[in-house]
């Protein structure tokens, strides 16, 4: 008879973005016997870095463990956004079951499908938590039906289809087995009890030879690279001499210098771990995701973990604008190279390829993945320039293929025509249209990834901000010929270096939308706005009105200047054209032409037209 570790459960919390995973984990921590009396739990405590807290998204998978009635429940809080799907799929190998969190109003969404597909492929036992049951617009019965349909569509087996459902409001700390909001109780016990009853306990084969597989990476300046994973078999102790089976088939021996266990918000040093435990191991500098630690006399590596390949790439460069070095702490090629290589220590979905001494091709899982890296670097004091994102093409069976995304749009009915037309122009194929009632429509498309680059801003404009769009990588398919998407309007470009003036901006604002405020420092070749036509427009944005004895220079200052549109980092990346760069510093984000001089730019453009003809 198989022996089990009945005192342990290993689960992952999975969900679409903003359906309440991290808030639910907070409540499980609060209501278990885990936190000490002095530990103060912040809201969304598991989202530990500043960008996660600001954006309300989980970027990196997090480990925690709670104590409940003498049982340890190891919990992994996973990202919901598909750009960080590389984190999700590896976590599925570490656990025996998943808690699928679904919004009681929104129901199943693109990332719900993405994360559930990964879980079902690993034959994990599911529990469904219908969250935000307290919403006035909650529709729990319909949402459970949607979830069941999704399970069937994704090929769930009979046991998986018989999933238990718990209804909860993580924000209020309540839950119940009833779908009636009035039956909610101020406790998470129904979730804890369902986990203990339904999720299989890990097999206790700790008397067999060790197998520990790395699923996540961390890095610490004191101990170097740390491999986080699960002990699938046997025991591991501090001081053990073990063998690491590398991805390329080679092996390396090392000594385990430190072991860490997870409990509450802490990572505690431990001396020993055994089958079923989720732990962190240090002692080897080049340990990597998917590699297996075994005894030196019983080398038996586990199957290598699959990691989805990047689909989007950008060129990162040393900043060479006229304002280079003014605001950044780290500006040299050596420092940028060190930082990108440091990121590779923990982010296995990222690829970095040097193009020249001053530039690198950086590939990731999507615009959000790469923009988070850029934002993190600028906050750390780095200065750099980046190019427009491009999709990564692949040759499959002799055919050139491009990545396609599954796109789900929720929009008021009056805007559906505009959305359908705009996505059709970007070569998207509409797969489904469902009238949700309340004047809302849900549209599903399959679209080439390059057609979605720069589309978010247009989408929000055409739906007056009421539309919600989510998309996730679906597959590689034969490339669609011709230009898709891209910006339809030109740029307004400064032709002088200096400070922008109210007077000059008054004259220019009728020609398009400005991206800067008065008294902003600009340089020749810097983009200061979007032209209302498709061609670029070069202007003197620093021009001052001459004083005379007839009119004073501030005579027109009573004329109202239109509010400028200040672009965020993501919006700036979306705006970029093929011949443009984004300059990023700790204090500023500036759009610019790759060639700053107007005359040189014109000659270069003529040469390209001649070459094309």
Q: Do residues 134 and 184 touch, judged by C-beta distance below 8 A?
A: yes
Q: Which of 232, 2, 197, 3 lies closest to 95 in space, CA to CA?
A: 232
Alpha-carbon span 108 to 152, nearest angstrom: 13
* Secondary structure class of 506 (helix, strand, coil): helix
Which tokens is 338 given? 């060190």
Alpha-carbon span 589 to 492, nearest angstrom: 16
Beta pairing partners, 11: 75, 97
Alpha-carbon span 166 to 343, nearest angstrom: 39
Q: How many CA atoms lie within 13 A of 304 on its CB side?
A: 10
* Secondary structure class of 228 (helix, strand, coil): strand
Q: Do residues 562 and 509 touch, judged by C-beta distance below 8 A?
A: yes
18 assigned binding-site residue: yes
501 assigned binding-site residue: no
Beta pairing partners, 591: 582
131 assigned binding-site residue: yes
159 assigned binding-site residue: no
**How many CB atoms are closer than 10 A to CB 396?**
11
243 assigned binding-site residue: no
What secondary structure letter does DSSP report for 533? S
Alpha-carbon span 607 to 613, nearest angstrom: 10
19 assigned binding-site residue: yes
Alpha-carbon span 590 to 600, nearest angstrom: 21
Q: What is the maximal distance between C-alpha atoms in the chain?
A: 102
Q: Which of 445, 561, 448, 587 lies closest to 509 in space, CA to CA?
A: 561
62 assigned binding-site residue: no
Q: Tokens 């093929």 — which residue? A: 578
What secondary structure letter does DSSP report for 336? H
**How many CB atoms are closer than 10 A to CB 446?**
17
Q: How far is CA 484 from CA 41, 43, 449, 451, in A?
A: 48, 42, 10, 5
Q: Which of 444, 94, 33 lies closest to 289 in space, CA to CA?
A: 94
Binding residues: 18-23, 131-134
Q: Which residues are annotated as a binding site for GTP?
A: 18-23, 131-134
């Amino acid at each position: 008879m198989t022996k089990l570790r009945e005192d342990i459960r290993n689960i992952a919390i999975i969900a679409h973005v903003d359906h309440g995973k991290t808030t639910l984990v907070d409540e499980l921590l609060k209501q278990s016997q885990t936190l000490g009396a002095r530990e103060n739990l912040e809201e969304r405590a598991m989202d530990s870095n500043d960008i996660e807290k600001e954006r309300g998204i989980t970027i990196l998978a997090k480990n925690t463990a709670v104590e409940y009635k003498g049982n340890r429940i190891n919990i992994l809080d996973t990202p919901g956004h598909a750009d960080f799907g590389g984190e999700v799929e590896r976590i599925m190998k570490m656990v025996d079951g998943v808690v699928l969190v679904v919004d009681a109003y929104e129901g199943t969404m693109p990332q719900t499908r993405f994360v559930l597909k990964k879980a079902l492929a690993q034959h994990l036992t599911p529990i469904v938590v219908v969250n935000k049951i307290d919403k006035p617009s909650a529709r729990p019965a319909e949402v459970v039906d949607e979830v069941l349909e999704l399970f069937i569509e994704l090929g769930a087996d009979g046991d998986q289809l018989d999933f238990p459902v718990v209804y909860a409001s993580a924000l209020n700390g309540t839950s119940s087995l009833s779908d009636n909001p009035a039956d909610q109780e101020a406790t998470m016990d129904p979730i804890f009890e369902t986990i203990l009853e339904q999720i299989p306990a890990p097999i206790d084969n700790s008397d067999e030879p060790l197998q520990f597989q790395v699923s996540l990476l961390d890095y610490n300046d004191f101990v170097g690279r740390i491999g986080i994973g699960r002990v699938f078999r046997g025991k591991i102790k501090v001081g053990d001499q073990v063998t690491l089976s590398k991805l390329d088939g080679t092996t390396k021996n090392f000594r385990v210098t430190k072991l860490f266990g997870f409990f509450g918000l802490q990572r505690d040093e431990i001396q020993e771990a055994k089958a079923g435990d989720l732990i962190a191991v240090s002692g080897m500098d080049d340990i990597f995701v998917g590699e297996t630690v075994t005894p030196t006399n019983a080398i038996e590596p586990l199957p290598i973990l699959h990691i989805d390949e990047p689909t989007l790439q950008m060129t990162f460069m040393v900043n060479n604008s006229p304002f280079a070095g003014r605001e950044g702490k780290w500006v040299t090629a050596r420092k940028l190279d060190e930082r990108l290589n440091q990121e590779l220590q923990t982010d296995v979905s990222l690829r970095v390829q040097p193009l020249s001494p001053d530039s690198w091709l950086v590939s990731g899982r999507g615009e959000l993945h790469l923009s988070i890296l850029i934002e993190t670097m600028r906050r750390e004091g780095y200065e750099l320039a980046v190019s427009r994102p491009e999709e990564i093409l692949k040759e499959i069976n002799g055919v050139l293929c491009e990545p396609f995304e599954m796109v789900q749009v929720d929009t008021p009915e009056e805007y559906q025509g505009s959305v359908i037309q705009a996505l059709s122009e970007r070569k998207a194929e509409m797969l489904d249209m469902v009238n949700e009632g309340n004047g809302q429509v849900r549209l599903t498309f399959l679209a080439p990834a390059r057609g979605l680059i720069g589309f978010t801003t247009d989408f929000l404009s055409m739906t007056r901000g009421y539309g919600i769009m989510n998309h996730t990588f679906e597959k590689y398919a034969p490339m669609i010929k011709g230009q898709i998407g891209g910006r339809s309007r030109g740029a307004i470009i400064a032709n002088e270096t200096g400070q922008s003036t109210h007077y000059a901006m008054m004259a220019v604002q009728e020609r398009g939308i400005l991206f800067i405020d008065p008294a902003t420092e600009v340089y020749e070749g810097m983009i200061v706005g979007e032209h209302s036509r498709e061609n670029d427009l070069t202007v003197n944005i620093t021009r001052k009105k001459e004083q005379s004895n007839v009119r004073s220079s501030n005579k027109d200052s009573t004329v109202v200047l239109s509010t400028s549109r200040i672009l965020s980092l993501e919006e700036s990346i979306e705006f970029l054209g093929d011949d443009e760069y984004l300059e990023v510093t700790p204090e500023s984000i500036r759009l610019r032409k790759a060639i700053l001089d107007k005359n040189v730019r014109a000659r270069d453009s003529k040469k390209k037209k001649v070459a094309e003809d």
